[in-house]
Structure 1
Amino acid sequence: MSITYVIIVSYNAMPWLYKCLESIDFSRYEVVVVDNCSSDGTVAHVHKNYPAVKLFKENQNLGFGQANNKGISYALNQGADHVFLLNQDAYLVGDALEQLVGFQKQNPEFGILSAIHTNAEETRLDRNFSNYVRFEANPAFYSDHVLGRQLQDVYEVPFVNAAGWLLSKTCLMIVGGFDPIFFHYGEDDNYCQRVSYHGFKIGVLPNTFMVHDREERPKPQIELYSDAYFKIQDRSFKKKYGNLNDYDKSRILNHRKKIKRQLLKARIRQNQKSIKGLKKCLRLIDCIIPEIEQSVEKNKVQQPNYLSV
């Protein structure tokens, strides 16, 4: 029998926690919750109502990737053959996890497997998930479903978000965990890039489902050159220019040259806001170039990077 651990990273998770945990078969799977210093009673709720859960109570917010790395490391050290990462706002439907594990055991070339993500009401696909299986990602997925063709056993895609990932031990020991240059968002894009670089596949099983309960959350308006803007730029640059599959340092240096040209034009126009913002963008690029270089060199090596195993 293979051993599968479910890892949930929680942060003020009370609106979703009951459905999330109740969707897991505790008789079949070990469950780990890594709590990123919640202040809403999440820790007390898990401790009181789910004594079988291995609970890590952090005294600071580690971010999504590093909290998952802690849970993954624990699972592997306990003998896990598969690790399933489940978002706190996501719920398994039926025997989805059993099917994912069974398929991965028979098809070890798939380092990451995912179920289909629906919205909270299970009335349509999750908005972002529908983009991950678009024509450019897999031409057959929508055609097979809409035209009534026999569904494939798996649909290979270049990326699916980490709200419900099944990772094999083999993949984790070669690719490693999430790269700490990402705090929150972007880490799953980077991980999929690394999975592909090391020869593993990423797939979606068409007859397995999970709910991702997130559609009603408002999207913040990001002001140009605000702190939030530069946070997005930081992870965007790292995701784009740290891609192992087409890494070339000259690409980010060319981007830097483009920003310098924009800065020159802003100075000619005496646009003080643009001057200040573009100078900050140049400083950001200068700061992350060595981070990306170190990340790329480390992630090229087949070893359990960022995991304590």
Structure 2
Amino acid sequence: MQWLEKCLDSCKDYPVVVVDNASTDDTVSFIKTNYPNVILFKQEKNLGFGQANNLGIRYALDQGAEHVFLLNQDAYLVDTVLNDLVTFQKKQSNYGILSPVHITGNRKKLDKNFSSFMHEEYSGQFYSDFVLGNTLKDVYEVPFVNAAAWLISKACLETVGGFDPLFFHYGEDDNYCQRVLYHGFKIGVLPQSYVIHDREERPAPIISAYSAVYYNKRENYYKAKFANINVDSQHDKAIKHLRKTILKLKLQLKLSKSNGLKKELSRLIKIKPLIIESRAKNRLPGLHYLK
């Protein structure tokens, strides 16, 4: 609720679909009362980030959309950013995903996570061009940018599909970018177009070792790594390594750590068939997960 008004006001000039993932606050009534033109899909259960987006994407394609823009509820369009993205994607159709620069709520800094995606090893001259006053490129090609503000072309969606249900929340954008690159599209950031990602005041959670959150995070990591169709899967190698580590810890009588890693190993083994299925499907072009 705390972001919705700013988010939806920034999108007022465009057709908007909101997928509500079984929220427990006043989101649904607020939208119905204040934004009657918004298409609202209220879910009875939380589908997760990817599957909720798939519903909105499918609806947009059914209405004849040539481009679909994904926007987090805690993000706001700045000036003509969406027109800029669409205009560029029409000219450069090889860019399946385009993103603006993500800035903080006070407009004084780059979003911290976004900033890390633009390091030299990923984006080339992005920072150097700004600091040294070089002529900025029209677009900076990157292997990944988070999905808080993505413009995806219809051609990309028809080839790559939607978000893989292998992921519930976190990791799905990594996986999608991997698939975009595999199918020959590019991912780019427009350096002079902006979106506000209003999250800098939220503290990062402290994750205790071998807690439920820890195991979920590790599972997402393994899924994103081993479902990457651009490289050979190292799933079996990781299982073997974990088994060796557990045995070593047992011999050292570090039973708490060995038991913790046993649960991690169990999860790693459990997701193996799901990853095999995901890799096989995602290598093929098509409207996967959007039918």
TM-score by length of 2: 0.98
Matching of residue 184 in structure 1 with residue 169 in structure 2: yes
Partner of 1:146: 131
Deviation at residue 257 of structure 1 after TM alignment: 1.2
Q: Secondary structure at the match of 1:203?
A: strand
Measured in 1, the distance between the counterparts of 2:7 and 2:84 equals 18
Partner of 1:130: 115
Q: Secondary structure at the match of 1:185?
A: coil
Of 1, 23, 34, which aligns to 2:10? 23
Unaligned runs of 5+ in 1: 1-13
Partner of 2:70: 85
Which is worse superposed, 219-228 or 109-118? 219-228
User: Percent same amino acid at aligned positions?
Assistant: 54
Unaligned runs of 5+ in 2: none
Measured in 2, the distance between the counterparts of 1:107 and 1:25 equals 26
Q: Secondary structure at the match of 1:142?
A: helix
Q: Secondary structure at the match of 2:122?
A: coil
Deviation at residue 275 of structure 1 after TM alignment: 2.5
Partner of 1:63: 48
Of 242, 251, 271, which aligns to 1:288? 271
The 5-angstrom pairing of residues 266-305 of structure 1 reads 266-305=249-288
Measured in 1, the distance between the counterparts of 2:162 and 2:124 equals 30
Count the aligned residue pairs: 291
The 5-angstrom pairing of residues 152-191 of structure 1 reads 152-191=137-176
Pairwise CA RMSD: 0.8
Deviation at residue 291 of structure 1 after TM alignment: 0.8
- Structure 1's consecutive aligned runs of 4 or more residues displaced over 4 angstroms after TM superposition are none
Partner of 1:225: 210
Deviation at residue 247 of structure 1 after TM alignment: 2.5
Partner of 2:239: 256
Deviation per CA, 1:149-197: give whole Å up to 9, x if none: 1111111000000000000000000000000011001100000000000
Deviation per CA, 1:115-161: give whole Å up to 9, x if none: 00001100010001111111001121111111111111111000000
Of 193, 211, 227, which aligns to 1:208? 193
Q: Quick one: which amino acid aligns to residue 34 of structure 2?
A: N
Q: Quick one: which amino acid aligns to residue 61 of structure 1?
A: N
